[in-house]
């Protein structure tokens, strides 16, 4: 049975999720919490192997439906080996992307039938859903420019074009509107320290932490 807390960071490219996740993990760790910082696709050896298939290569290497299934294969392994055991021992699990990314990238952006995604959520997540989701929001033009500046090998999704990234931003904002109790939109165009403060304020308010965590 789940006992810990599950926080996910979501949003388009270049929003600074990974930096913000690291900072929140440090704060919670300093406050004495047992923290697991992880990411998707990936987070377990099997899921990291699947990640390499997903984030490298040509944009049209996989269809949106195939991508959806690969994301969920990776996600299931990550849940079984890392997230569920972590929550069971009482840890705070912080995850860089999760199921909302599939809704936004493969669903809103790629056109995968929402019914397929809903069915996978129902059967594969096994009830492991976030207590809090922080959506780092920024215009796709800004995010893609930031992401291009740090370019590495993992550019497959970045190369899908502005129209795709505009649709997936709308996807994330739609998720936040539909599930306001779980989701908080954070303005990721603000300076890093301001974003960090907004993340901390949201975590405190929504998860009942004291000033010091």
Nearest to 67 by CA among 106, 125, 21, 116: 106
Min dist. Cβ of residue 105 to ligand TMP (A): 3
Binding mask 162-201 toward ligand TMP (x if CB under 6 A, else -) reads ----------------------------------------
- 175 close to 159: Cβ distance less than 8 angstroms: no
Considering only 33-41, 131-139, 175-183, 203-211, which stretch makes contact with ligand TMP by CB under 6 A? 33-41
24-32, Cβ contacts within 8 angstroms, sequence gap of 24 or more: 24/94, 24/196, 24/199, 24/200, 24/203, 25/94, 27/200, 27/213, 28/92, 28/94, 28/213, 30/213, 31/209, 31/212, 31/213, 32/213
What pairs with residue 94 in β-bridges? 7, 37
- Angle value at C-alpha 164, between 162 and 166, nearest 5 degrees: 65
Pick from 78, 97, 165, 167: which binds ligand TMP (CB under 6 A)? 97
Min dist. Cβ of residue 210 to ligand TMP (A): 30
Rounded CA-CA distance 42/54 in Å is: 10
Residue 40 in contact with ligand TMP, rule: CB under 6 A: yes
Number of shown-chain residues binding ligand TMP (CB under 6 A): 13
Rounded CA-CA distance 23/30 in Å is: 11
Pick from 19, 23, 53, 55: which binds ligand TMP (CB under 6 A)? 55
Residue 65 in contact with ligand TMP, rule: CB under 6 A: no
Residue 93 in contact with ligand TMP, rule: CB under 6 A: no
Pick from 71, 84, 138, 202: which binds ligand TMP (CB under 6 A)? 71
Min dist. Cβ of residue 40 to ligand TMP (A): 4
Binding site for ligand TMP (CB under 6 A): 39-41, 55, 71, 96-97, 101-102, 105-106, 154, 157
């Amino acid at each position: 049975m789940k006992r810990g807390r599950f926080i996910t960071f979501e949003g388009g490219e270049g929003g600074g999720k990974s930096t913000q996740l690291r900072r929140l993990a440090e704060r919670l760790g300093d406050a004495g919490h047992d923290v697991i910082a992880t990411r998707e696709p990936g987070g377990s050896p099997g899921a990291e192997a699947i990640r390499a298939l997903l984030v490298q290569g040509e944009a049209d290497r996989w269809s949106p439906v195939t991508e959806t299934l690969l994301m969920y294969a990776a996600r299931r392994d990550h849940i079984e080996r890392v997230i569920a055991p972590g929550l069971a021992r009482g840890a705070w699990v912080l995850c860089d992307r999760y199921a909302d990314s599939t809704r936004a990238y493969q669903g809103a952006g790629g056109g995968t039938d929402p019914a397929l995604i809903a069915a996978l959520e129902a059967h594969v997540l096994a009830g492991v859903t976030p207590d809090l989701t922080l959506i780092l929001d920024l215009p796709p033009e800004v995010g893609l420019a930031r992401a291009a500046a740090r370019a590495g090998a993992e550019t497959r999704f970045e190369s899908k074009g502005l129209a795709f990234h505009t649709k997936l931003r709308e996807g994330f904002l739609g998720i936040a509107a539909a599930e306001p109790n779980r989701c908080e939109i954070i303005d990721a165009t603000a300076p890093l320290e301001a974003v960090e403060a907004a993340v901390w304020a949201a975590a405190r308010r929504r998860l009942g932490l004291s000033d010091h965590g």
